[in-house]
Structure 1
Amino acid sequence: MKRRWLKMLKVYFKELLELTRDKKTLIFTILLPTLIMPIILLGFTTLSVKIAQKANVETLKFAIVGGDYFPELKEVLTNNESLKFSLVDVDKSESVNELINDSEIRFALVISENIRKDIDDGLSGEIEFRYNDSAATSALIYKRVNDAIDSLKVAELNKRYKSIGLTQEQGEAFSKPIKLVRKSTADKRESLGEKFGALLPYILILVGLSGAMYPAIDLGVGEKERGTLETLLLTPVPRFQLVFAKFAVIFTTSFLSVFLSLISFALVTTIFGPMFVNSMGAEASKSAGEVLETLSTVSITDVFLMFSMLVPVAAIFASALLSVSIYARTFKEAQNYMSPIMIVVFLPLILSILPGVKLDWVWASVPITNVSLAIKEIFKGTIDMDMLFVIFASTTLIAGLLLALCNWWFQREQVLFRN
């Protein structure tokens, strides 16, 4: 018995050594998982901050149609150079849309001839804000314009308050007799986890899938195409041990991918993150620093719990992908089977990020979705440990059943030699 297991270990290390010689395997199991977290957390954050900063300092060309009806608007936008607005003369409102779509101007303000009368009568004076909402920074442009004319809104409101003998404070209270003040009971980590916690399991599970995919294809149908499967079957090693050795190799690569991703996540939040924050501008570094400070509250225990949830998931991927690879006739056929498998994995992941989907005893029974929700709750710091054990046990059971199916699959000659 001991010799048999030693032979199985030899098969395991032989398959693992062959995989390390494949560049694709090294890229998808080591390089990609190690870099994906820094790229997402630091790279994308840097890019979004740069885009926002550029949009906030860009001089925006705009046009006003009907400016004579409300000259105060033009004064507010053009007299203050710090607002960075540049007025372009336009005669007709019909040409405004074309100028916006051709990027000659970024937005236009079309003023009704009745605006002054409406304001004096206590009504709302409407100003039409025309812009191209397909532009990436359209929301930032609207915010800049809206903030710029706030002083104009306040001035008109104060006139109304004085006309009825109210102070500004009384006037604001008069327009809002009941004000609902929001006060969250969640701490910063829980709040951040609810907003961004779904992204972490999404990345980790897909990294685990990609880390198992290419080794599975190589160890299954790859053996067929190389003509080494027959030789392997003639070795004095029971078939179930051959299956387990191949499964262990694929599980190792998937396991390693997830492990490296979590390590890079920890390094980003503790070491590289603060260095990155210091290189930002004052305003951007303040908000990014708060996020990283919150992320730093994720303890080693939390990281271990996330990792423990992903271990049986890696086993599920290893068993399922090896079964598919054994069944396929060619490398190309195996690749074609991978797309449906990815869709099957994507669907429960999408379910876990839908609004209203919370970790309860119903969702805890849905594979992949339960692990994704559990990691999100761990990230938030609100995980129920009893439910965690149930999810781990059920996911491990599914992985065991799939491994048994893979072993049964490997025993059938009509599957191994479909050619």
Structure 2
Amino acid sequence: MFLPQEVIRRKREGEALSEQEIRCFIAGVTDHSVSEGQIGAFAMAVYFQGMNLDERIALTCAMRDSGQVLDWASDPLPGPILDKHSTGGVGDVVSLMLGPMIAACGGFVPMISGRSLGHTGGTLDKLDSIPGYTTSASESLFRRVVKETGVAIVGQTGELAPADKRIYSVRDVTATVESIAMITASILSKKLAEGLNALVMDVKVGSGAFMPTFEQSVELAQSIVQVANGAGVKTTALLTDMNQCLASSAGNAVEVREAVQFLTGEYRNERLLEITMAQSAELLVSAGLAGGIEQAREQLQSVLDSGWAADVFGRMIHGLGGPSDFVERYDDYLPTSAIIKPVYMEAEGYLAAMDTREVGMAVVQLGKGHTVASDTIDYGAGITDICRLGDRIDPSRPVAMLHARSDASWNQAADMLRGALTVTEQVPQPHSLIYKKLS
């Protein structure tokens, strides 16, 4: 007889769970015979006790098998099936550019994404700021857009990894987001359900990362690479810097705006460009679409310069219900805030450090993001024109522009942002942008 509380107790005591126990628990999550309280208790037990590699593989596969696994064999795609995932950061809008860039180079990207977790933004929340765009597409629509445009970015449908969708929402509000075993299973259950040939993983390091230390970030990257490769999906992981915001903006509509500007060449933040190119190049090489990293970068730059990647993005938006001219008229469609004002620092010197997690929480405060599951989001809120580490700071130079719905919200977020920035007289040493690659 299966008892969820017995599985929770055993894991709480640090015992290794069998594949059968894990599969039974996940089956209960799927059919709702396991309660949200029990899911939260299980997640907390795993958070503190961890899981060995066999348990992580079993959990990942059970969550994958809780719903339909996409099989492209009946309607083959004329190219490799690829995807990426990030552990999450502030201003991490890479998915919105990488998908169209890979598609323009001959790959197919059936990207199943998530919503915000803690201080990090969620790709689906960003896309929800586009009028008409459906992130809850049916499988038939999802398949059609992938086949016709090369990329579709949607959320978990009821058919794909339903156990993960339920567990994901509980982790968000129970302070269990950072568990290496749970992150691994959550990411890979969706990715393995996509029927992928190759995957690239972006694991963040620094003040805005889920993992508080470099060593723990390496541990997470190794976990994902081991589990995914063990399941037959060629996977590499890049450890990248999150000691400051990745893009020049953080929020929902403001990041979509920056993504369009990136694709069209109107504006490309150098850090964002390098991380996007690095991940995209890894995928092209893993899939055999390029003979090496340099060749891959040349192909990627070509589809950016020609406007092909921007065209793919526009066709994806329209295919999933958004405006047909979104790329050309994004400012006419994206929501904006009633109050947009600069933030100044009283100190003078150089920006030496940024508490990126606190910057992310300032964005949550502005947009009232997912602090509890029932929160609604102000899609126009966010931060733009964010200063960079090493910038010269003085009381006359804004460190960012805050987009808010009210003066009270603006003031609270401005205080949080000022508190997240450290100004010194000395110019700081730059951080590495990519620390390590694992495969």
TM-score, with normalisation over the residues of structure 2? 0.19
Counting strand residues as a fraction of each chain, which structure ranks higher? 2
TM score, norm. by length of structure 1: 0.20
Larger radius of gyration, structure 1 or 2?
A: 1
